[in-house]
Copies of this chain bind each other. A is one copy, B any other.
């Protein structure tokens, strides 16, 4: 499979998983303005999709720096910039345990390093999420203490994207 094919499938899987999580979110009993978390802004593609998909919900973004398309830069008050392990405790203070959905796109291309980062971050991310919150992740999350796996969205090959529900 060419890199072009594999990129198309990766983006389609992201889209399907975000939309699946948004539908599931509809049956969660939570305030209409409860926040959504985006880990890894990149060029802002999925941030843009999340804010279109969930109008009215603030999308808080975590990244080292802003390198997004000019139209997809979050307002300053929704940005947590810097090392994740500095900004996660900051978010815990500012937001408490209120978020209803999180999208993790923190893979670096190095599978071992990405898994280690995800393993270290997920307990901190869990602390920001209400029970029943939805999580979409590019890396598998093996933290069964906090996250129950959900089936992949229809038409998406298992392993391409990962869906979880916060216990």
Chain A 88-136 interface residues, beta-carbon cutoff 8 Å to B: none
Chief secondary structure at chain A's binding surface: helix
Closest 9 CB pairs between A and B? A4-B49, A2-B49, A3-B48, A4-B45, A2-B48, A3-B45, A2-B52, A8-B11, A4-B15
- With both beta carbons as reference points, the residue of chain B lying nearest to A68 in the complex is identified as B3
User: A52 to B43, alpha carbons, bound, how many Å?
Assistant: 28
- Determine which residue in A5, A18, A43, A69 has the highest number of CB atoms from chain B within 10 A of its CB, and name it: A5
User: By the criterion of a CB under 8 Å from any partner CB, how many residues of chain A are at the interface?
Assistant: 22
Residues of B close to A71: CB separation below 8 A: 3
> Do the beta carbons of B3 and A11 come within 8 Å of each other?
no
User: A53 to B8, alpha carbons, bound, how many Å?
Assistant: 16
How many identical chains are in the complex? Answer: 2
Q: How far is the CB of A11 from chain B (nearest CB, A)?
A: 5
A87 interface contact, C-beta 8 A: no
| Chain A residues close to B by CB (< 8 Å) | 2-5, 7-8, 11-12, 14-15, 18, 43-46, 48-49, 52-53, 69, 71-72
User: A64 to B159, alpha carbons, bound, how many Å?
Assistant: 36
CB-defined A-B contacts under 8 Å, sample of 18: A2-B45, A2-B48, A2-B53, A3-B43, A3-B49, A3-B69, A3-B71, A4-B11, A4-B15, A4-B18, A4-B46, A4-B49, A5-B15, A7-B11, A7-B45, A8-B8, A8-B15, A11-B11
